[in-house]
Structure 1
Amino acid sequence: MRSATRADVEAIREIERLADERFRDLGLGFVADGEPTSYEVVAAAVDRGTAWVEVDGVGTPIAFATVDVLDGCAHLEQLSVIPAHGRRGVGTALVGAVEEWALCRGLGVVTLTTFADVPWNAPYYRRLGFEVVPETRWTPGVRERIAEETAFFDPWRRVVMAKALV
C-alpha cells in the first residue's frame, strides 16, 4: 500500500467504476450507471495526501481509499476494491491506513456514509468495528452529505457509521 499520486487518478476512477458494477446485481444499477468521482475531486484528495492505493504484484492499483476531515472527524469518502481482488483483506488494510492517518492527526473518530443493506457496505463496516449513528447524533456536515447522496435515491437505504479510535 502507498499514498496515491497524480499518476493514479485515472486508475482510481476506473477502480471505482469497476467496483460499482457490483451494485447492478442488487437492483442498484443507478450506482453503476453514475459517473465515478470526478478527476478534480480525486486529484484534490491526492494533493492533500488523503488518498491511498493498494497495488498488485506489478504495481498496478487494485483498490483505493480517500478521506477528508468533516466536523472534526476523519470521514471515509470512498473505499473501492476491484471485485477480482475482493475478499482478501485489501479493503480492511486501507481502512486501517485511514485509521492510522486519523490518529496521527488527533482525530479520534472515523465516520462514513454507506448503504444499510448492501453486504459489502454497512455489514462489512460493522465487522470492522463501526456502529450505526442514530440520526439524532448526526453532525451538520454528515447531514449535508446524506442530503446530497439521497437526492438520487431513497434516504432509508443510507446510514451513517462511526468508529471511535481512542
Structure 2
Amino acid sequence: MNGRKAFRGMAPEGYRIRMMEPGEAERLRAIDAAADRLLIEAGHIPDTGPTPIERFVPFLLAHEVFVAEAKGGEAVGFAAAADLADLTKDPAASGCYWLSGLGVDPAHGRRGLGSALLASVVERAGWFFHRAVGLSTARGLPIGEAFYAQRRFVAVDEADLTPALRQRRDVEWPAGAPDGSRIVMVRWL
C-alpha cells in the first residue's frame, strides 16, 4: 500500500492523510512553528522562534511522518512517531509507538485534522503490533492533555514512569517551560 492510499477515508472531507514525501521539511517546519504559537499564547513555552532547519530535518528523519494534505496537495498538518525503543536506545521500551510531534496549521484548525492524524498514528501502531501509543504533552491545556484524554489516552503518574518514558518527556520538555508543565500519556491498544 503506498503512502497516498494507506489512510484513505481517515481525514475530514477535503483533506487526506498520507506519509511525508521528499521536499516537505520546510513546509512542515512552518506548520510546527505556527502550531507552537498556540502554546506560546497559552504561556506554556517562551517564544524562541522556529526550530532551526538543521535540527528539524534530523527530527523528521528519525520518525515516520504522517501528513494531512488539503485539496491541491498542500501539507497543512503532520504527526511524527517512532518506536520508543528506537528513540531511547532502550530495548525494554519496545512495543510503545511514541508520538513525538503533532501540529496543524491554525488556518486549518478545528476541522478534525489533529484527530485524523492521531487516528492514523494509532492505526499504524496496530499494524506493527505495538501495545501502546505514548506521548508527552502540555499539562492542563485544552490543546494538550484534554485533547488526548478525549481520545482515550490516560495520564501516567510520575511514580509509574519507566526510564524510557521519563527520558522522552525530558527530551521533549520545551526550553523555558515551567516545572511540572509536561505530562506523559498512554493509549493502550
Same fold at TM > 0.5: yes
Aligned ranges for residues 1-166 of structure 1 at < 5 Å? 1-30=17-46, 32-36=47-51, 38-45=56-63, 50-70=64-84, 71-72=93-94, 73-148=96-171, 149=173, 152-165=176-189
Gaps of 5+ in 1: none
Q: CA deviation at 1:43?
A: 3.1
* Deviation readout 1:24-71 (Å, 9 max, x if unpaired): 3222351x42433522221342xxxx1110011111000000001111
8 Å Cα contact 1:6-1:43 kept in structure 2: no
Q: CA deviation at 1:157?
A: 0.7
Q: Which amino acid aligns with 2:71?
A: G
* Deviation readout 1:92-122 (Å, 9 max, x if unpaired): 1111110111111110200000011221110
CA spacing shift, 1:150–1:87, aligned 2, 3 Å: closer
DSSP 3-state at the match of 1:156: coil
Q: Which amino acid aligns with 1:15?
A: I
TM-score, normalised via structure 1 length: 0.89
TM-score, normalised via structure 2 length: 0.79
Q: CA deviation at 1:153?
A: 2.7
Distance in structure 2 (CA, Å) of the matches to 1:101 and 1:139? 23
Structure having the higher helix fraction is 1
